[in-house]
Structure 1
Amino acid sequence: MRIHTHFFCLWALSLAMLAWWLAQMAPWGAMVRLGAGLAAAALWLGWAGWRMWRCRRDGAARELLLPGLLDLPQGWRDGRATVVELESPRGAYVAAEDGMLRAMVPTPALLERAVAELVAWRRGSPPDALALRLEAAAECGEAAWLGRLQAWRQAIADVERRLACRLPVYLLVGFPAPARCSGIGGTLGVVLQGSSSASLRQWREWLDDWRSRTELQPPVLGDEDARARFDLRLRAGAVGGWLGTQVLPALLQGATPAPAVGLQGIALLPTQGRDAALSPWGRCRQALSGLTVRSLSIGKSEREGVPRSWLFGLEPGGRLPAAWRLALSLWLLACLTALAAFAASAWSNRVLLERLSANVAHYRSLPMERDVERREALSVLESDARELQSHADLGVPLRLGFGFYRAQPWRERIVRLIADYRPPAAVPASVLLDSLSLFDSGKAVLRVGAEMALKPALAALALYPERNVLVAGHTDSVGQSEANQRLSLERAAAVRDWLAHATGLPLTRFAIQGYGATRPLASNDDVEGRARNRRVEITLLPTLPVK
């Protein structure tokens, strides 16, 4: 089998380019797209190389069944009707005559091999038809004759499965005719023309209708040619009845072990040869008439090839040349690539718009108090703004092109959101509360009306509820240091309990510390200095991220 290497390479290259194109259209990273394209190219080129190696190996392992194909003109590859004639009595060969190419196959076992060589020689085009020759007067047993038909049916099914297409089948039935009918056989020609999808019942109806019309044409008295034609029609009608009851069921009935053949037409061909009593046709006549049929010699048939006029509906050039088929395949591949690119672009733009919309909505949903999350969302918007700005400066990438890009208005919205961002007011490092406004002298219980003095601390906690709170108590240096230390700690605990109750925050968010007189703000030598040192200091601590 000859393999056209350039066709395989071009087709594999086209598929690799399609895979690379689709990878570029996908919303992946650059390295992922590059890797996908290289993997697709390697896969398809490897497949093409494997196909060529296997076909060359198979071709070298065996000789050509139809070597005559190599001697035919190149113009016969395309534009010529090609018929594979089955049951050839002279073996396997090819013949170019009558404006058509004939490939002769003698046995069912050689059909698939012969068709494979023919398809390879025709650059991938299957044959236009199969013509099964059947001699009604050939001497053979009933079982052998039916087995032969079943074998051809199975071989045709195998070829159709390999080619992935249905092949029209013509049944060429030769029946014996006396010598006085010679010369007028061409008047019969093709007697039936059907459809490759017709059932056994339809073919039987067509045969019965044709037989009834044939028998209604009586001969003209005194006209020897008319009598010969009438005799020929009667013989053909009888053969038609035999076809409907014996031959067609073997080819069309049931779907197992092989599907029915696509019978396109039946031609009854009068021949000169031996009319054997033990032929399928002879046994059928004997069963119908109850008479003994004798074997008669009525001459010798010289016909080998089937005239093209008998294969009705078979026109040369029914398929495009291989170059045109390749061009059409590449054009269809380009159309599919364009459709895939449009679909991928529309999908990528939809994903982009959904992402931008979700990022903007998330940023707007965050209150100012949650500034840490707002800054994280703002950094995402800044990344989106840089991406959209690159689209405006460098052009829209291919995966977002083809007129589907609709992200330009979003760039302006995101830029405005970024420009409108204002950080919250600085958090006071600490809130100082005068102990005299909170506690009586020497006491650690909040006095009546202390809530007004604690409002600044509540305001700070309301702005930053996520922060931890340190409450530290301080005293002056009057008295014993241990007592001052204990008093400062108790006052810090009292303020902590009130803040936790007022804000609803858990106690775990608070820490207390009593410093006594160890951290004065002023000198303890005068009254004003000691008043400044008696205080409660509330500090908001940032929440450390968990690693």
Structure 2
Amino acid sequence: MGDCGSPRHRGRSRLARLARRPRCAACPFAIREASVVTSAANEGRGYPLRLVVLFALALALAVIWLVLPLERSTVWMLTTVGTLAALAIVAWRTRRLAIARAQNAQVLAALGTATSTIPGGMHTSMPLVLLTGDGLAALFDRDDTTRLAWVGDGAIWLRVDDPNALPRLAVAVRQWRDGRAPDGVVLSVAPALHTNADALVQRLRLARQAMADASRMLGTRLPGYVAIYQRLAGRGPNALPTGNIATDNPQWFGVASITPLASTSAFETAIRGAEDAVQETSRVQDAATRTTRAAGIASLVDWTQRVVMGALTDRRQPAALWPLHGAVWIDCGPASGPDSPWERDVELRTKVAPASVAASPSPWPLPQPLIEAMPVHRRAAPRLSALGHALALLACAAAVAFWGAARNNEALLKKIGADLEHFRSIPATHDAARRDALVALVADRDRLERYARTGVPLRLSFGMYHGAQLLAPLNDAIASYVPPPPPPAVVTLDSMSLFDSGKAQLKVGSTRAMVGALELIKAHPGKRILVAGHTDNVGDPASNLKLSVGRASAVRDWLVDASGIPTTQFAIQGYGDTRPIADNETQDGRARNRRVEITLVPDAAQQAPSAQ
């Protein structure tokens, strides 16, 4: 629906089988004289990829260095790789933004100028349509061929004169709209502007390739629409209004869907809708006129399906298929004569040449009904998206940190448990090994006590720390260690210096040899004293045993008298020749074997461990 004769009022309707009665909407506006608005502000509101990458790097480094159970070499390797990757992404993004600003500066400035009066944020919420194809000068404004954009009724229409510029312009629009791609691409087709069908098909293939390139560069499929501008009824430019709605106010009719159309059924629906529309809106005309008009509309729809959509959806072409979501037709457009592609097709099929008609007054109506059928994309603002991504990264970092803390605590408990088990498995007789194991237990206990005083480190935190429960077993194990008694102090006396051969009575003056033993006994009053006698193997063993006992008794008696220590602190033992310390085959060896040993032994009560 629209008024081809009104330069400033364009109708709109709900797109169904046919447009209903015309109704005038609010006047759209275009900015002719406006202050130049730079695009830097809009660019600044885009997705902050560099900040997100740096935030992700900071989280990764924090988790790697503070939480994860990794070797130091692995930590440094991951830090180097992650930092270089993040810096590469930041540099790549910075370079791309600089190139995009340089390439799209003119487009962004024109968009900012054309939409300077739109309230903030509306440039991302209003539908934005790229319009390319035929008759763009008449669609936008014939007296201003440089106009880039038109802010119409509920949409921003962006003019693309050269289809080859469509991909770059689509990328610029996404940059200008803070990351939101255009909502659709409308291809306007005016058959009367082409000399033959082959030239039209070549232009359609060019638009198809541009659409495929734009979708590839944006990473998304843009909805495609086709608007056919073709005069069906004659009306001279100076003729007075006839009062005929079908002639004075040609209406839009067509089909559209939020999903790609099935070409056959969709176009059959459009033909039936067009025929019904002619019957409803042409009651003032005679039956012949209505029939002729309905046949022309049906022929135009059929021609569009075969020629236009055939070129856009031909699978033999290398470019991707045109994603058709809607097609509309209007009895409006340039002057039509017998040489235009559609008229030739009609004449070829019906043997009747359509009458020539004059051009519609400009500007032509924009295919506004397509706006209401475009898919609605609910998209969060780039800053909100970045915030959501930051929260997602934070959640991932937290999950990895929880995992790392769990692994660290598991390793801590396993090590302390292994140290405890190792200490308990060592026999008491292996004191050196027990002492080494005790050192490890003391280090474990000191570490857990330090955590209790100063706080648990981050790598063991996040609610995973259970080291406090091991303090009691560690203290019990450490307290259970009892050092072995010290080796006894032994004083060896030469029997020949104390006794005559074969005698057990001390010689006169022999006491001087026992002064050292007496001083040792007095220095350790709490010790028990064992006096043991030994002989060589000369003579009868029984006699030697008796002699060793007698000599030990003699030494004991003298020490009791000299020290004043009770006799109960002493013990005597005779070994005879059973414990030699040298070879009895030599004279020197036998001399060494004839001896009396005085040994200090700790009292049994003193050897018991204390409670402490």
Category of TM-score, reference length = shorter chain: 0.5 to 0.7
Question: Given the superposition, is the C-alpha separation of residues 307 and 285 from structure 1 closer, same or farther in structure 2, using an over 3 Å criterion?
Answer: closer
* Structure 1 residue 165 corresponds to structure 2 residue 220: yes
Q: Partner of 2:211 in structure 1?
A: 156
Deviation at 1:101, TM superposition (A): 1.5
Q: Partner of 1:350 in structure 2?
A: 407
- Name which of 145, 157, 162 aligns with 1:107: 162
Q: Partner of 1:84 in structure 2?
A: 130
Give the TM-score of the pair, scaled to structure 1: 0.67
Q: Partner of 1:341 in structure 2?
A: 398
- Name which of 318, 325, 329 aligns with 1:264: 325
What do the CA deviations read for 1:7-38 (whole angstroms, capped 9, x no partner)? 45544443343334433442358998799679
* Structure 1 residue 193 corresponds to structure 2 residue 256: yes
What do the CA deviations read for 1:324-367 (whole angstroms, capped 9, x no partner)? 43033213312331243134213431342145225524652673
Q: Partner of 2:463 in structure 1?
A: 403
* Structure 1 residue 523 corresponds to structure 2 residue 565: no
Pairing 1:492-507 to 2, within 5 Å after superposition: none
Of 343-352 and 155-164, the range deviating more from structure 2: 343-352
Q: Partner of 2:240 in structure 1?
A: none
Cα distance in 2 between the residues matched to 1:153 and 1:16 = 42
Which blocks of at least 5 consecutive residues in structure 2 are unaligned? 1-37, 138-144, 236-245, 490-533, 542-579, 598-612
Cα distance in 2 between the residues matched to 1:256 and 1:344 = 53
Pairing 1:103-182 to 2, within 5 Å after superposition: 103-179=158-234, 181-182=246-247
Cα distance in 1 between the residues matched to 2:377 and 2:405 = 46
CA contact (8 A) 2:409 2:465 kept: no
Deviation at 1:268, TM superposition (A): 1.3
Q: Which has the higher contact order (CA 8 A, sep 6+)?
A: 2
Residue type of the alignment partner of 1:158: D
Question: Is the partner of 2:193 in helix, strand or coil?
Answer: coil
Question: Given the superposition, is the C-alpha separation of residues 235 and 340 from structure 1 closer, same or farther in structure 2, using an over 3 Å criterion?
Answer: farther
Cα distance in 2 between the residues matched to 1:222 and 1:44 = 67
Question: Given the superposition, is the C-alpha separation of residues 389 and 150 from structure 1 closer, same or farther in structure 2, using an over 3 Å criterion?
Answer: farther
Residue type of the alignment partner of 1:523: A
Of 363-372 and 72-81, the range deviating more from structure 2: 363-372
Of 219-228 and 383-392, the range deviating more from structure 2: 219-228
Question: Given the superposition, is the C-alpha separation of residues 51 and 408 from structure 1 closer, same or farther in structure 2, using an over 3 Å criterion?
Answer: same
Which protein has the larger Cα radius of gyration, Structure 1 or Structure 2? Answer: 2
CA contact (8 A) 1:368 1:424 kept: no
* Structure 1 residue 18 corresponds to structure 2 residue 76: no
CA contact (8 A) 2:39 2:176 kept: yes
Residue type of the alignment partner of 1:14: F
Cα distance in 1 between the residues matched to 2:486 and 2:415 = 30
Deviation at 1:409, TM superposition (A): 2.6
Give the TM-score of the pair, scaled to structure 2: 0.60
Deviation at 1:306, TM superposition (A): 1.2
Question: Is the partner of 2:591 in helix, strand or coil?
Answer: coil
Cα distance in 1 between the residues matched to 2:72 and 2:286 = 85
CA contact (8 A) 2:171 2:217 kept: no
CA contact (8 A) 2:231 2:332 kept: yes
CA contact (8 A) 1:13 1:44 kept: yes
- Name which of 296, 304, 313 aligns with 1:252: 313
Question: Given the superposition, is the C-alpha separation of residues 263 and 241 from structure 1 closer, same or farther in structure 2, using an over 3 Å criterion?
Answer: same
CA contact (8 A) 1:346 1:404 kept: no
Question: Given the superposition, is the C-alpha separation of residues 109 and 473 from structure 1 closer, same or farther in structure 2, using an over 3 Å criterion?
Answer: farther
Give the share of equivalent positions with the same residue, in percent. Answer: 21
Question: Given the superposition, is the C-alpha separation of residues 245 and 54 from structure 1 closer, same or farther in structure 2, using an over 3 Å criterion?
Answer: closer
What do the CA deviations read for 1:183-236 (whole angstroms, capped 9, x no partner)? 3422x44x21223344xxx22122224434654788489932586666544333
Question: Given the superposition, is the C-alpha separation of residues 352 and 375 from structure 1 closer, same or farther in structure 2, using an over 3 Å criterion?
Answer: farther
Q: Partner of 2:357 in structure 1?
A: 297
Question: Is the partner of 2:318 in helix, strand or coil?
Answer: coil
Q: Partner of 1:478 in structure 2?
A: 586
* Structure 1 residue 328 corresponds to structure 2 residue 385: yes
CA contact (8 A) 2:451 2:457 kept: yes
What do the CA deviations read for 1:253-296 (whole angstroms, capped 9, x no partner)? 5496233233221111221433344444334434433x264672
| Aligned residues: CA RMSD | 4.5
Question: Given the superposition, is the C-alpha separation of residues 31 and 297 from structure 1 closer, same or farther in structure 2, using an over 3 Å criterion?
Answer: same
- Name which of 96, 100, 106 aligns with 1:64: 106
CA contact (8 A) 1:174 1:271 kept: yes
* Structure 1 residue 55 corresponds to structure 2 residue 110: no
Q: Partner of 1:539 in structure 2?
A: none
Q: Partner of 1:389 in structure 2?
A: 449
CA contact (8 A) 1:178 1:272 kept: no
Residue type of the alignment partner of 2:264: R
